[in-house]
Amino acid sequence: MATFLHGTGGSGPGLRELIDRHAPVLAPGCYDALSARLVEEAGFPAVYMTGFGSSAGHLGRPDVGLMTMSDMVDNARRIVNAVGIPVIADADTGYGNPINVIRTVQEYERAGVAAIHIEDQIAPKKCGHMEGKQVIPADEMAAKLRAAVDARRSADFLLIARTDARAIEGIEAALQRARLYREAGADILFVEAPESEAEIRAVAAAFPDVPLLFNYAEGG
C-alpha cells in the first residue's frame, strides 16, 4: 500500500542535464497529476504544466489570469509528487511586480518544479495564442527576471523568459526583448507564437548558443 501511494520515484536526469545534452527535450503539456502520469508513462523525459490546461481543467475557463499563484503552485506540487520526471511550470506573469516574483519563485521552487516560465504580458494575461494581448515595458520585465534570479536557491531551478511581443510589436522587437531578458539572467528564452517557419528559424539564428523553448500548438 505504501508503494502504491508513492509517486513514481524516478531517478532520471534533471532538466539541466537534459538540456546540456544539446538535443531537443520534448515536454508535452499536462494539467493535473493524472495527465502528467500519462506523459511519463508514454516515455517522455519531462512534462509541462500549462496555464491553459490548468485553467480549463480546474475551472472550466480559458487562460485569462483566473488561476492565482497559489492555485498554480498547488497544482504543480501535486504533479511533482506524482511523477519522477522534471516538471516545467507556467508561472504566468510572475503574479505581480518584482517583489511578488520573489515569492512566486520561492513557492514554485519549494514545490519541486524544475523550471518556470514568466511572461511579459500585462495582468490579467491571456493565453499566448489569443488575440488582444498586451505587453509590459521590456525593462519592467527585465527587473522581474533579475528578482527571480536573486530569489532562487539553486541554479538548477531554471528560469524561462517568455515574450509575447511578436503579436504586438513584431518579430524583431520580440528578439530584442529576448536579448534583454537573457542579459537579465534568464536561462532559457521563449519567443511565443511565431507565425511562420521562417520566424522560428530567425529565433534560432539569433540565439545559437542559448537554450530555447518552442511551444508547438495546433493552429498557432
Q: pLDDT tens, 76-121?
A: 999 999 999 999 999 999 999 999 999 999 999 999 999 999 999 9
Instruction: Label residue 4 by pLDDT band (50, 70, 90).
Output: very low
Q: Is the confidence at residue 122, as pLDDT, over 50?
A: yes
What CATH number has the domain bearing residue 65? 3.20.20.60
Check if 162 is active-site: yes
* pLDDT number for residue 51: 87
195 as an active site residue: the answer is: no
Q: What is the pLDDT of residue 127?
A: 61
Say whether 92 is catalytic: yes
47 domain residue, yes or no: yes
The domain containing residue 184 runs over which residues? 16-210
Distance of CA 88 to the CA centre of its chain: 6
Mean pLDDT, residues 15-40 taken together: 97
The residue from 119, 120, 164, 187 that is catalytic is 119
Q: Kindly report the backbone phi and psi dihedral angles of residue 158, in degrees, each rounded to the nearest multiple of 5, phi listed first.
A: -90, 145
Instruction: Choose, from 31, 75, 90, 107, the residue flagged as catalytic.
Output: 90
> Strand order in 29-30's β-sheet?
29-30, 47-49, 87-90, 115-119, 158-163, 188-191, 212-213
Looking at the domain assignment, is residue 219 inside a domain?
Answer: no
Q: Cβ–Cβ contacts within 10 Å for residue 44, how many?
A: 17
Is the pLDDT at 129 greater than 90, yes or no?
Answer: no
- Cα–Cα nearest to 173, from 184, 163, 158, 159: 163
63 is catalytic: yes
Residue 117 falls in the annotated catalytic set: yes
Residue 217 falls inside a structural domain? no
Q: Does a structural domain hold residue 9?
A: no
Cell triple for 216: 508547438
Q: How far apart are CA 195 and CA 64, in angstroms?
A: 22
- Domain-embedded: residue 25: yes
Residue 6's pLDDT is 53
Average pLDDT over residues 33-46: 98
Tell me whether residue 196 is in a domain: yes
User: To the nearest whole number, what is the mean pLDDT of the chain?
Assistant: 91
75 annotated active-site: no
Q: Which of 37, 152, 162, 177 is catalytic?
A: 162
Domain for residue 6, yes or no?
no
118 and 144 in contact (C-beta within 8 Å)? yes
For the question of residue 215 being annotated catalytic, the response is yes
H-helix or E-strand spanning residue 110: helix 98-111
Question: Is 90 annotated in the active site?
Answer: yes
**Identified catalytic residue from 92, 109, 164, 187:** 92
Which amino acid is residue 41, in one-letter code? E
The tens digit of pLDDT for each residue in 167-194 reads 999 999 999 999 999 999 999 999 998 9
Phi-psi region of 219 (alpha: psi -120 to 50; beta: other; left: phi over 0): left
Please give the pLDDT value at position 126: 57
Let me know: does 20 contact 86? Beta carbons within 8 Å: no
Active-site choice (63, 109, 164, 187):
63
Q: Specify whether the CB–CB gap between 45 and 25 falls below 8 A.
A: yes
Judged by DSSP in three states, 122 sits in: coil
Number of domains in the chain: 1
**Which is more confident, 187 or 3?**
187
Has residue 5 been placed in a domain? no
